[in-house]
Amino acid sequence: LGSLPVFSPDVIKQHTTKHSCWVAISGKVYDVTAFLKRHPGGHIIILKYAGRDATSPFLRRGHSLTATNMLNEYLIGTSSDPPETDPELLAMNRKHAAWRLSGGNIEQADGATPFWRVHRRGFLPSRDPRRIARGPFVVLEELVASLPTAIAEGSTRRDIDERKDELGRLSDALGDQSEDDLNRIHSLYSYVCTGYIRTREYPGQPPLGTLPRFLARGWVKVSRMLGRNPMLDYSDCVLDNWERLDQKGMMTMGNLRLLNRLTGMVDEEHFFKTHVVIESEATPVIDSLISGFECVERRDISSLLVQFRSLETALFRLTRTCLPIMFASTKSQGALCDYHMFFHELRPLIKTWKIRYEGEYDDKAMTFQGPSGAMSSILPCIDAFLGIEMSSPLLKKMLRGFEAYIPKGHREFLRALREKPNAREFVRSCKRKNEDLIESFNSIIDRVLDFRWSHFQFVKKYVIEQAPKGTQALGTGGTPAFKYLHQHIRDTENARIKVGETPKSSLPASKLVVRSLSLEGSDAKEKTGTKGAEKPSETWEVGSNGFLCATNTPAWSVESAPEACRFLVELCRAMPSACVANGPFRKMVGDRREEFENLHKALATLTDPEAERACSMLAFIQAGYRAILEHTAVPSLEAEGKGLQEAQAREVHSPPDWLLRPIKALAKRLDRPDKLSYADMVLLNWRLAAKAKAHETKDQDGANKDEEANDEGKPGRHSRERIRIICRFLAIPKEQWFWALHIALEGEATYCISAIKDGLAAIQQDNIKTLTISLNALTAALRRLIRVHPDPYPHSSRAELVLMRRLKPFLAPRISNKQFACLIYAGHSAVLPALFKYLGVKRGQNMLQTWRDYAVHSMPKEHRQFIGIIESETSARNFLKEKIAAKRLGRSGEDGGMHDIAVLEVSFNRCIEQLLRFCSRRSQLVCRCLPHVAQWFREDEMKQEAEYLTRSHCALLVGHQLFAPLPKRIQSASSPSHRDPTDVKHRSHEKLSGSETSSNAANLDNMEVRQQNDTLPPVDPQRFASNNSNVTDTYLYGVGRPESPRD
Tens-place pLDDT, residues 184-194: 999 999 999 99
Q: What is the pLDDT of residue 983?
A: 38
| Sign of CA pseudo-dihedral 637, 638, 643, 647 | negative
- What pLDDT score does 484 carry? 67
User: What secondary structure letter does DSSP report for 1036?
Assistant: S
C-alpha distances out from residue 892 to 174, 350, 518, 1011, Å: 91, 73, 106, 16
What percent of the chain is predicted at pLDDT more than 70?
Answer: 77
| CA nearest neighbour of 577 among 1045, 151, 888, 49 | 151
Average pLDDT for 650-669? 82
Q: What is the mean predicted confidence (pLDDT) over 733-737? A: 90
Closest listed residue to residue 650, CA positions, set 582, 549, 563, 732: 582
Residue 849 has pLDDT above 50, yes or no: yes
Q: Which of 184-198, 670-684, 789-803, 845-859 has the lowest mean pLDDT?
A: 789-803
pLDDT of 430 reads 77
- pLDDT tens digits for 789-834? 987 887 777 888 889 989 998 998 888 899 999 999 998 899 999 9
Parallel, antiparallel, or unpaired: how do β-strands 687-688 and 723-724 relate? antiparallel
3-class secondary structure, 180: helix
In this prediction, residues 532-539 reach a mean pLDDT of: 54
The predicted model gives 349-362 an average pLDDT of 92
Of 16-20, 244-248, 641-645, 879-883, the range with the lowest mean pLDDT is 641-645
| pLDDT for the residue 622 | 92
Q: Share the mean pLDDT of the chain.
A: 78
Q: Give the Cα-Cα-Cα angle 536, 540, 544 (nearest 5 degrees).
A: 100
- Angle at the Cα of 416 (from 414 to 417), degrees rounded to 5? 65
Q: Which band of pLDDT confidence, cut at 50, 70 and 90, is reported for residue 739?
A: very high
What would the mean pLDDT of 487-500 be, rounded to a whole number? Answer: 81
Confidence (pLDDT) at 534 = 47
Look up residue 528 and give its DSSP letter. Answer: S
Residue 523 reports pLDDT greater than 90: no
Which pLDDT does position 90 carry in this prediction? 53
Query: Is the pLDDT score of 1018 beyond 60?
Result: no
Q: What is the pLDDT of residue 996?
A: 34
Judged by DSSP in three states, 17 sits in strand
Q: Which pLDDT does position 475 carry in this prediction?
A: 64
pTM of the model: 0.74
Neighbours of 669 (CB within 10 A): 15
Kindly give, in sequence order, each residue whose CB lies less than 8 Å from that of residue 294, ignoring residues fewer than 6 positions away: 516, 517
Residue 215: per-residue pLDDT: 95
**Measured distance CA(197)–CA(156) in Å, rounded:** 9
**pLDDT attached to residue 175:** 87
- Given this model, what pLDDT does residue 544 score? 80
According to DSSP, residue 963 is labeled G
Tell me what the mean pLDDT of segment 97-111 comes to: 74
Burial level of 299, CB count in 10 A (0-12/13-18/19+)? middle
- C-alpha closest to that of 268 among 288, 313, 238, 297: 238
Count CA atoms closer than 13 A to 895's CA, side-chain side.
0
pLDDT of residue 527: 40
Is 984 a residue whose pLDDT tops 80?
Answer: no
What pLDDT is recorded for position 115?
Answer: 92
Read off the pLDDT of each residue in 565-569 and give the average, rounded to a whole number.
Answer: 93
DSSP 377: S
pLDDT tens per residue, range 569-594 = 999 999 998 888 778 888 899 999 99
Average pLDDT estimate for 377-396: 87
How would residue 720 be classed by pLDDT, with cut points 50, 70 and 90? Answer: confident
Q: Is the pLDDT of residue 668 over 70?
A: yes
User: For residues 499 and 438, is the Cβ–Cβ distance under 8 A?
Assistant: yes
Render 216-246 in DSSP notation, one character per residue: HHHHHHHHHHHT--SS--HIIIIITS-EESS
pLDDT tens per residue across span 914-944: 999 999 999 999 999 999 899 999 988 999 9
Residues 6+ apart with CB under 8 A from 654: 626, 660
Segment 673-687 mean pLDDT: 91
Indicate the SS3 state at residue 22: strand
When comparing pLDDT for 999 and 395, which is higher?
395
Q: In the structure, what pLDDT confidence band is assigned to residue 1009 with cuts at 50, 70 and 90?
A: very low
Nearest to 194 by CA among 360, 406, 371, 358: 371
pLDDT in tens, 217-269: 999 999 999 999 999 999 999 999 999 998 888 888 889 999 999 998 999 99
C-alpha 251/C-alpha 102 separation (Å) is 8
Whole-number pLDDT of residue 486: 76
| pLDDT, position 364 | 92
Q: What is the pLDDT of residue 982?
A: 35
Paired sense of beta strands 353-357 and 210-211, if any? parallel
Q: Using a CB cutoff of 8 Å and minimum separation of 24, what contacts does 527-532 make?
A: 527/868, 528/856, 528/864, 528/865, 528/867, 528/868, 528/871, 529/868, 529/871, 529/872, 530/865, 530/868, 530/872, 531/868, 531/869, 531/872
pLDDT digits over 599-651, tens only? 999 999 998 889 999 999 999 999 999 887 554 443 333 333 334 334 334 44
Task: Output 488 or 179, whichever has higher pLDDT.
Answer: 179
Cα distance between residue 736 and residue 351, in whole Å? 22
**Of residues 448, 442, 446, the one with CA closest to residue 499:** 442
Confidence of residue 429 (pLDDT cuts 50, 70, 90): confident
pLDDT tier for residue 457 given thresholds of 50, 70 and 90: confident
Identity of the amino acid at 79: S
pLDDT for the residue 577: 87
Q: What value does the mean pLDDT take over residues 279-308?
A: 91
